Amino acid sequence: MRQKLDRDARVAAIASRQKGLVTTAQLRHAGHDESSIARRVAAGRLHPIHRGVYAVGHVGIGREAGWMAAVLALGRGAVLSHTSAAALWGMLKPSGGQIHVTVPTDGGRSRRKGIAIHRSTTLLPSQTTARGGIPVTKPARTLRDLRRVAARSAWARALRQAEYLRLPLDGLFDPDGTRSDHEAELLRLVRRHRLPPPEVNARLGPYVVDFLWRERGLVVEMDAYGTHGGRAMFEADRRRDAELKRKGLEVLRVTDTWMASAPGEVIATLRALLFPTLP
C-alpha cells in the first residue's frame, strides 16, 4: 500500500507542474506498468487526452491544459508555436481549431488529431522558453512563424499587440531593422536618393513607428491593403496619428500601391517634408 501511495504521489507532483497532465513515460518512471495504467484508466483516475497523454483525476481540461497536452503529445523538444503561441503570449485572441506545435526535427509522425505539427531544423533552444509552464516559442520566433501562415492583417495585429505588451522582439527584424518587404523597399529608396537616414522601427513612448526622422519631427508609417484588420485597428491607427501630431510630429502614411506606382512622388514628398525651406 505504501508503494502505491508513493507512486500516486509522484504522479500527482508531476501533474501539478503540467496543468494536471502526465505522459505514459512519466507514469512508467513513477513506477506504473501497463496494467497499472490500464486499471487507472478503467477506474476513471486517468483520462486519455492524446495518445500517451492523460489528465489526472478529471475529464475536462481548460485551454492552457489543452495547449500543454498537445506539446506533451509530440515529445521532447516540442513547443507551442504559430497562432497558438501568439494566443499564449496575448498577441492574438485564442481561437478554436487545431493547436500548433513545432518539433525540432524533419522526421516523425506527420499527423495527430487536433494538432497541427510543424517540423523545423532551424528551431534553436535559444528561440524557445516556457510561459505558465508551457514550452513555447519566444515572441520573436512566434511572429516569424506567424508571418508565414497568417493573413497580413492578423500578423499586423499580433505585432502591434506584442509591441504594446513590450514583449522582447530581438531577432525579429532584418539586419537593417525593417520587418516587411515594403519597409525594406522604402529604405532602399531613401538611401538611393541620399536622403537622411531614419531610425527604423523606433519607439516613441508606447508606440513603435516604422520610420522616424527625430530631429526633423517626421514619422512615416507603411500601410498596405488589408493591414488594418477592421475598423477597430483603423481607428486605433488614427488615434495614434493624432497623439503623435499633438507631440509636434508630422505623420506621413505611405501605401504599398503608392510606392509601387509612383516611387518618385514618395521621395519628392519625403524630401519636401524633410527640407521644407528648400525651393
Q: pLDDT tens digits for 137-153?
A: 999 999 988 887 887 77
Cell numbers that stand for 225 in this block: 491593403
Question: Residue 79 pairs with which residues in a beta bridge?
Answer: 102
Rounded Cα–Cα distance for residues 85 and 141 (Å): 10
Q: Does residue 112 register a pLDDT over 60?
A: yes
Rounded Cα–Cα distance for residues 278 and 272 (Å): 8
Determine the Cα angle at 44 with ends 112 and 80, to 5°. Answer: 30
Q: What is the mean pLDDT of the chain?
A: 86
Rounded Cα–Cα distance for residues 52 and 260 (Å): 53
Residue whose cell numbers read 496543468 = 19
Rounded Cα–Cα distance for residues 69 and 61 (Å): 9
Predicted structure pTM score: 0.67
Q: Does residue 136 register a pLDDT over 70?
A: yes
pLDDT in tens, 55-82: 998 877 899 999 999 999 999 899 999 9
Question: Residue 185 pairs with which residues in a beta bridge?
Answer: none
Q: Does residue 229 register a pLDDT over 50?
A: no
Rounded Cα–Cα distance for residues 141 and 79 (Å): 11
Q: What are phi and psi of 149, to 5 degrees?
A: -120, -20
In the chain, what's the furthest Cα-to-Cα distance? 93
pLDDT in tens, 169-191: 877 776 666 777 778 889 999 99
Q: In the CATH scheme, what architecture does the domain 181-274 have?
A: 3-Layer(aba) Sandwich (3.40)
